[in-house]
Amino acid sequence: MTNPQDIPVQEARRLACSRCGTEFGCDLSGACWCAEETARLPMPVKGEDCLCRACLREAAAIHSPDGAKA
């Protein structure tokens, strides 16, 4: 059995939004801010990595049936 204290904690990685270049953190433990968003897009889009909150919401609005901002 693995002792939870023996599992290395992954530090949040610093990213730049693939669309606008805004820097933000991504917590690889699963507690990332994007998990709080209601938008669930197929990610990543070819040639893109993660998006910042604003660009994710904009992309979700474009892909939503009514075009409303998320």
pLDDT tens per residue, range 2-19: 555 665 566 778 889 989
* C-alpha pair distances (Å), 33 with each of 12, 17, 30, 67: 11, 14, 9, 22
Residue at 66: amino acid letter: D
34: which residues sit within 8 A by CB, 6+ positions away?
26, 50, 53, 56
* Res. 70 pLDDT band, cuts 50 70 90: very low
Q: Are 32 and 56 in contact (CB under 8 A)?
A: no
14-67 pLDDT tens trace: 889 989 999 988 877 767 778 788 766 656 677 777 888 899 888 888 876 654
Q: How far apart are CA 49 and CA 40, in angstroms?
A: 15
